[in-house]
């Protein structure tokens, strides 16, 4: 009986920490709910669960970044193509990490990922593309759910 009570309390505590969302609707009302807000919602913020500090990013971008983080592999000698890759990510307002490949360990990591050492290489979640191709990068980002426009609209 005591074990059952402990189990019930543990489940209730887990439910109490469920993800909640806070946003402003089209009429200016503030809504707090456990369901994600509609696309036209403003001032979206997560509360509870895996709350992150407000980074000013649109909800769709934050959601995509949580599920499919972007990592850009570059090198010091990669100038033009690496800069184009950075600009594309900045234009689309995509949060990303950049790893400049310098050490033998980093070269090995990149080689394990793509079978070669080639920069720039963009990794989105588990998918990747070696070399810079605007079309290929856009496709990977679109498939991961990142908004096409910097304003956060798909």
53: its two tokens:
């500090």
Cβ within 8 Å of residue 22, ≥6 positions away: 30, 31, 32, 43, 44, 45, 46, 47
Q: Is pLDDT at 72 greater than 70 in this prediction? A: yes
Indicate the pLDDT class of residue 80, thresholds 50, 70 and 90.
Answer: very high
State pTM to two decimals. Answer: 0.62
Q: Is pLDDT at 14 greater than 50 in this prediction? A: no
Measured torsion, CA atoms of residues 87, 92, 93, 99, in degrees rounded to the nearest 10: -50
Helix (H/G/I), strand (E/B), else coil: 25: coil
Indicate the pLDDT class of residue 46, thresholds 50, 70 and 90.
Answer: low
Q: Is pLDDT at 11 greater than 50 in this prediction? A: no
Domains of the chain with bracketed CATH: 19-53 (no CATH), 65-143 (3.40.30.10)
Q: How many Å from the N-terminal Cα to the C-terminal Cα in the chain?
A: 52
44 phi and psi, to 5 degrees?
-75, 135
* Model pLDDT for residues 122-143, shown as the tens digit of each residue: 999 999 999 999 999 999 999 9
Cα Rg of the chain, angstroms: 20
Q: Is pLDDT at 18 greater than 60 in this prediction? A: no
């Amino acid at each position: 009986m005591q074990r059952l009570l402990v189990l019930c309390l543990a489940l209730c505590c887990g439910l109490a920490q469920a993800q909640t969302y806070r946003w402003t609707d089209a009429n200016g009302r503030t809504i707090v709910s456990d369901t994600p807000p509609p696309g036209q919602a403003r001032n979206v913020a997560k509360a509870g669960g895996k709350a992150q500090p407000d980074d000013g990013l649109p909800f769709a971008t934050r959601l995509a970044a949580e599920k499919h983080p972007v990592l850009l592999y570059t090198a010091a000698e990669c100038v033009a193509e690496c800069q184009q890759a950075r600009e594309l990510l900045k234009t689309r307002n995509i949060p990303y990490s950049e790893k400049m490949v310098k050490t033998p360990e980093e070269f090995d990591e990149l080689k394990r990922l793509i079978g070669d050492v080639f920069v720039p290489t963009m990794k989105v979640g588990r998918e990747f593309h070696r070399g810079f191709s605007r079309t290929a990068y856009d496709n990977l980002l679109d498939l991961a759910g990142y908004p096409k426009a910097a304003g956060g609209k798909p």
